[in-house]
Copies of this chain bind each other. A is one copy, B any other.
Amino acid sequence: MNAQVVPGSSSRADAQRDRILCAALKCFIEHGFHAASMASIADTAQMSAGLMYRYFENKNAIVLGIIERQLEEKRTIIRQLHSSNDIAAGLLTTFERWCAADPGVMNPALFLEMSAEATRNPPLAAALRSFDAGMRMELQAWLGRDRELGGMGLAPECAVTRALSLQCFIDGLVLRSVRDPKVDRAQLRAAVHEQIGRLTR
């Protein structure tokens, strides 16, 4: 009766789930989690509303799917920073992509939406918290690792502090990209270099 499709069971099903999530991403960005209707998602995904319920139990499941993907995107960004030679440049480029609403990167508006939603959704809050902790650990490890191993060679106690500090700054940048996408680039570059520069010194 409840013919919920098992994920991974078929590539066809996966493709459908993907179509739905892509459509949902667009709709959620445009209208937010609440204001985006299942009908609008179905329209965007070019399928019937009823069909979506074969692939997702309900609207909330779609929201969770989107959140999962967004976290994955954020994870990618953070990791790219580690392996990048010029962190400041990487951050600035990412900022540009945020401002341009590049669909291939974590969407900062959705990121806010998620953060706001987590306030009233304890499981989501826990997931975000755990994600953040994980990312912070990675940042910290990277900051503390020897330079010849690709790290920043900070003293352990310093790495802890700066990981948190950097995390706050990055989240602040996300917010800024939403709120003031036309922020003066020279000033922004200076601010980023001021924050990041201290790492390389």
Q: Is the CB of A191 within 8 A of B175?
A: no
- Chain copies in complex: 4
> Which residues of chain A in 114-169 are interfacial with respect to chain B, using CB atoms and an 8 Å cutoff?
115-120, 125, 128-129, 132-133, 160-162, 164-165, 167-169
Q: With A31-B120, A34-B35, A109-B116 in contact, do A168 and B176 touch (Cβ < 8 Å)?
A: yes
Please report the total number of A residues contacting B with Cβ < 8 Å. Answer: 51
Q: With A116-B113, A129-B180, A180-B129 in contact, do A175 and B164 touch (Cβ < 8 Å)?
A: no
Alpha-carbon distance between A194 and B158 when the two chains are bound, in angstroms: 10
Our pick among B39, B109, B171 for the contact of A175 (Cβ within 8 Å) is: B171
Measured CB to CB, the closest approach of chain B to A183, in angstroms, equals 8
Q: Is the CB of B1 within 8 A of A40?
A: yes
Q: Is the CB of B169 within 8 A of A187?
A: no
Measured CB to CB, the closest approach of chain B to A68, in angstroms, equals 17
Q: Is the CB of B109 within 8 A of A119?
A: yes
Q: Is the CB of B172 within 8 A of A188?
A: no
Q: Is the CB of A116 within 8 A of B161?
A: no
Query: Which chain A residues have a beta carbon within 8 Å of chain B's beta carbons?
Result: 1-3, 29-32, 34-35, 37, 39-40, 43, 109, 112-113, 115-120, 125, 128-129, 132-133, 160-162, 164-165, 167-173, 175-176, 178-180, 183, 187-188, 190-191, 194-195
Q: Which 10 A-B pairs give the minimum distances between C-beta atoms?
A: A168-B172, A172-B172, A34-B34, A1-B40, A109-B119, A165-B191, A112-B116, A171-B172, A161-B190, A164-B191
